[in-house]
Amino acid sequence: MSLIRSSLLVGFGSVASRVLGFVRDVLFAQALGAGPVADAFLAAFRLPNLVRRVVGEGGLNPALVPALSRLEPDEAAATAGDVLGVFGIALLALTGLVEIGAGLIAFLLAPGLRDDGTLALVALYTRLSFPIVLCVTLASIGAALLNMRGRFGATALAPLAVNGGLILTLVAIETGFSLPLVQKASWLAAASSLAGLIQLVIVAAALLQDGPSLVRFRWPRWSPLMKSFLLAGFPVLAASGAVQIFFLAATQIASFWPSGIAWLYYAERVMQLPLGLMAALGSSLLLPELARRYRAGEMQAIAAAQNRALEAALLLSLPAAAALVILARPMSAVLFERGAFESSDAEGTALVLAALSLGLPFATVAKVLSQSLFACGSLRAALMAAIAGLVLTVAGALALAWPLGPTGIALGVSIGCLGHAGAVVVGLHRFGLWQPDRALTVRLMRIAAAVLVMGLGLVAAVRLIPQDGALSLAALCLGGLALYALGAFATGAVSRDDWASLTKNA
């Protein structure tokens, strides 16, 4: 399959999942608003959603793909079955522990929610929604096995089941029933677990089509490879999901502010659209390519591929960040201000979104560059970079939260993303893999010029176009996209050779 076809398929699945997730969150805001029940539900939803986002974006791939790619086909199939069996047993036990200790977990997730039984609601929603973790983690492992065989169809489309199922549940609740907010949230939490089961069934059906050539089930056997994979699993997940962990820490701090959890959640969902796309492309396409280059000893090729991937990531994330900062207020109002979500909530969400968007380019850089560390097996460096980002996130959020509230917490997340990216660069430099070339520098200067053109145009357009509806926002977004495209071609940030290179076979 050509690179363009693989990229388009993975990209389509990722974009479709993000769009459905966006629709889901718009309906969340309409149904639940940004009050205590919304804070309780979104706090409980944060943990399973964190796992779903990390493993769904290929969080286990850095540990699984390089290990299995070094084995003979028969041994790889048997080891793949062992991995699925071990994770299945471990996750069943973990789910049981969560169901028993949901009260303690609720306190850890949102220590600021202590009044009016809100913390008890967090525990209830955690119990109902956590089983999705079992399903999506096993589905993610199965998706990694399919990607190794060039099977991207089921892995790209299966994640749509979760958001699609929640959207159907929301529509049914809003149109067919008149329920209190507490019961609405309960149904949504339970529906998320059911939708995760559907995702697992889709991936399992695709795996069974290849039969024992891809995965062979047996009672799990302990082996040095299995031990190394399990030992690598935690640091890989922590490093792959660094930004999600930053948001988890930020949510704990935001729980001390009324509606702080909800504002942070809705703003994050907007910011995550471009970031999630780059994460999916990096884990599904870039990581396997870098792993092959590393096994062949082609270190210069790794650096070159890394630089080109960095160009592509910033080509998307820099204009996205600028547009989100400029359009934060109209975007929050148009997307979320309806039903139980009030104008004051839209204003608070807009400020948080603008602060988060400052960290988007750095989060994207870290996502792309971490793939090189994963491909080379440098898990310790990737984990230490994630820890550095987490420390800066907590320190920045605590320092800025009291003078600025949830907006300061969001700025703390952006500071953490900056620190994370810087720490990843330091790790690459230690391994001799940070080799930015002249082409990268020139491309970044051209991208910056194109973003400046778009930004100036958007600032002027915001003052001229009334910001009172979806049509105005659509005009601003499309106009900004057109300006950026013209600027990118005029400055040479995008050229005809770039399109031609995409059609080359992988």
pLDDT at residue 427 is higher than 80:
yes
Cβ neighbours for 444, distance < 8 A, ≥ 6 positions apart: 311, 314
Q: Give the chain's end-to-end CA distance (angstroms, integer).
A: 7
**What per-residue confidence (pLDDT) applies to 492?**
84
Mean pLDDT of 361-379: 80
Note down the domain range covering 388: 243-435
The answer to whether the beta carbons of residues 232 and 381 sit under 8 Å apart is no
pLDDT at residue 484 is higher than 50:
yes
**What per-residue confidence (pLDDT) applies to 2?**
45
pLDDT range class, residue 158, cuts 50, 70, 90: confident
67, part of any domain? yes
Query: Domain ends where: 385, 411, 435?
Result: 435
pLDDT range class, residue 503, cuts 50, 70, 90: very low
Indicate whether 156 and 302 sit together in one domain: no
pLDDT range class, residue 341, cuts 50, 70, 90: confident
Indicate whether 252 and 227 sit together in one domain: no
Summary mean pLDDT of the chain: 81
210, part of any domain? yes
If one counts every other C-beta atom within 10 angstroms of the C-beta of residue 92, the result is 11
pLDDT range class, residue 273, cuts 50, 70, 90: confident
CA distances from 415 to 265, 411, 494 (A): 18, 6, 29
Indicate whether 221 and 112 sit together in one domain: yes
Least Cα distance to 88 among 53, 137, 132 occurs for 137
CA distances from 140 to 60, 134, 137, 156, 226 (A): 8, 10, 5, 11, 17
**What per-residue confidence (pLDDT) applies to 59?**
57
pLDDT range class, residue 233, cuts 50, 70, 90: low
465, part of any domain? no
Indicate whether 185 and 265 sit together in one domain: no
The answer to whether the predicted template modeling score (pTM) of the entire model surpasses 0.75 is yes
Indicate whether 232 and 368 sit together in one domain: no
Indicate whether 203 and 278 sit together in one domain: no
Mean pLDDT of 352-377: 85
Indicate whether 110 and 67 sit together in one domain: yes
Q: What is the pLDDT of residues 14-68, one digit of tens each?
A: 667 777 887 888 888 888 888 888 889 988 888 887 777 666 555 566 667 666 7
The answer to whether the beta carbons of residues 465 and 456 sit under 8 Å apart is no
pLDDT greater at residue 412 or residue 312: 412
461, part of any domain? no
pLDDT range class, residue 411, cuts 50, 70, 90: very high
Residues of the chain above pLDDT 90, percent? 27
Question: Among 117-121, 285-289, 404-408, whose mean pLDDT is lowest?
Answer: 285-289
Alpha helices in 177-223 (DSSP H): 181-210
Indicate whether 210 and 86 sit together in one domain: yes
160, part of any domain? yes
State whether the Cα torsion 459-464-470-471 is positive or negative.
negative
The answer to whether the beta carbons of residues 175 and 235 sit under 8 Å apart is no
174, part of any domain? yes
Alpha helices in 282-405 (DSSP H): 287-295, 299-326, 328-336, 343-357, 360-375, 379-404
Structure tokens at 132: 């999705």
Mean pLDDT of 94-102: 92
Rounded Cα distance, 501 and 494, in Å: 12
pLDDT at residue 382 is higher than 50:
yes
Indicate whether 250 and 200 sit together in one domain: no
Indicate whether 234 and 310 sit together in one domain: no
DSSP 372: H
Cβ neighbours for 92, distance < 8 A, ≥ 6 positions apart: 134
**What per-residue confidence (pLDDT) applies to 358?**
95
**What per-residue confidence (pLDDT) applies to 377?**
66
Rounded Cα distance, 311 and 436, in Å: 11
- Top-confidence range, 131-145, 246-260, 304-318: 246-260
108, part of any domain? yes
Indicate whether 196 and 309 sit together in one domain: no
**What per-residue confidence (pLDDT) applies to 1?**
45
Indicate whether 289 and 414 sit together in one domain: yes
**What per-residue confidence (pLDDT) applies to 3?**
46
SS3 state at 505: strand
- Into how many domains does the chain fold? 2
Rounded Cα distance, 254 and 412, in Å: 11
pLDDT range class, residue 505, cuts 50, 70, 90: very low
pLDDT range class, residue 502, cuts 50, 70, 90: very low
Query: Domain ends where: 240, 259, 274?
Result: 240
467, part of any domain? no
**What per-residue confidence (pLDDT) applies to 371?**
76
Q: What is the pLDDT of residues 167-198, one digit of tens each?
A: 999 888 888 777 888 899 999 999 999 988 99
**What per-residue confidence (pLDDT) applies to 417?**
95
pLDDT at residue 350 is higher than 90:
yes
Cβ neighbours for 372, distance < 8 A, ≥ 6 positions apart: 290, 302, 306, 428, 433
Rounded Cα distance, 415 and 356, in Å: 9
Query: Domain ends where: 372, 401, 435?
Result: 435
Rounded Cα distance, 442 and 64, in Å: 36
Q: What is the pLDDT of residues 199-220, one digit of tens each?
A: 888 888 887 776 666 677 777 7
Structure tokens at 297: 């000893």
pLDDT range class, residue 482, cuts 50, 70, 90: very high
